[in-house]
């Protein structure tokens, strides 16, 4: 039965909104914490380390750097900052629209989505800031080569870390459903033979 377009049994008005905020509050709190941590650490780097400079922390293993990346992970698509900003914005909107698929009612789902959304916003902010126009990367792990020089993992930041962890958690959340669907499909095919 519907009253003014609202089905009985569904919450409406202020009560519905407060329940919705409570359900997604942890998700948005995590996203906000990631965003703030990302932007604050980048602000410290921008104000204390000259662009392209570095500060040794553990010789032969870790240093703080101030590098700009106009590409994606591992500098793929380097020089395509505006395109990657648009892709980030689309990814953010798609995640918002489809977030129910990622178990937002569970703590793990809220953590995963919060990390991903906060990470996207952190790097998107860098790409859109007029004075920056690139993502600030500052954590650099490396080893010395025997013949000289360094070999290292690409520099990254807090947003990158949050994105990687969040996406990994989303895979863990989705894997049981995907595996179940895959194996039940194979069973249907075998029965038809």
Counts for the chain of helices (H) and strands (E), in that order = 4, 6
50 is catalytic: no
- Of 3-7, 19-23, 182-186, the least confident: 3-7
CA distances from 150 to 61, 81, 142, 146 (A): 10, 27, 6, 9
Most confident range, picked from 63-72, 113-122, 182-191: 113-122
What DSSP designation does 155 have?
A: P
More confident residue, 50 or 178: 50
Residue 168: how many CB atoms within 10 A of its CB? Answer: 12
Condensed to tens digits (0 to 9), the pLDDT of residues 156-188 reads 999 999 999 999 999 998 887 776 776 775 555
Task: Please state the pTM of the whole predicted model.
Answer: 0.79
188 is catalytic: no
What count of other Cβ atoms lies within 10 Å of the Cβ of residue 61?
Answer: 13
Residue 190 clears pLDDT 70, i.e. is over it: no
- Catalytic residue chosen out of the listed positions 50, 53, 59, 137: 137
Of the candidates 38, 53, 160, 188, the residue annotated as catalytic is 160
Most confident range (mean pLDDT) of 15-19, 91-95, 103-107 is 91-95
Domain ranges of the chain: 24-173
């Amino acid at each position: 039965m519907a009253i003014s377009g609202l089905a009985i049994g569904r919450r409406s008005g202020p009560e519905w909104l407060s329940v919705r905020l409570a359900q997604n509050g942890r998700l948005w709190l995590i996203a906000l914490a990631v965003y703030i941590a990302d932007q604050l650490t980048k602000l410290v780097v921008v104000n204390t380390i000259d662009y392209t400079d570095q500060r040794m922390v553990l010789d032969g293993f870790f240093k703080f750097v101030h590098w700009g990346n106009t590409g994606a992970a591992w500098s793929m698509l380097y020089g395509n900052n505006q395109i990657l900003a648009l892709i980030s914005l689309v990814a953010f909107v798609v995640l918002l629209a489809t977030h129910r698929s990622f178990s937002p009612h569970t703590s793990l789902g809220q953590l995963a989505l919060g990390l991903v959304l906060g990470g996207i916003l952190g790097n998107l902010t860098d790409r859109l800031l007029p004075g920056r126009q690139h993502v600030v990367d500052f954590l650099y792990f490396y080893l010395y080569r025997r013949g000289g020089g360094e070999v290292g993992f690409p520099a990254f930041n807090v947003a990158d870390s949050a994105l990687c962890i969040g996406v990994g958690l989303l895979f863990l959340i989705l894997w049981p459903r995907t595996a179940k669907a895959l194996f039940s499909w194979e069973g249907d095919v075998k029965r038809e033979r």
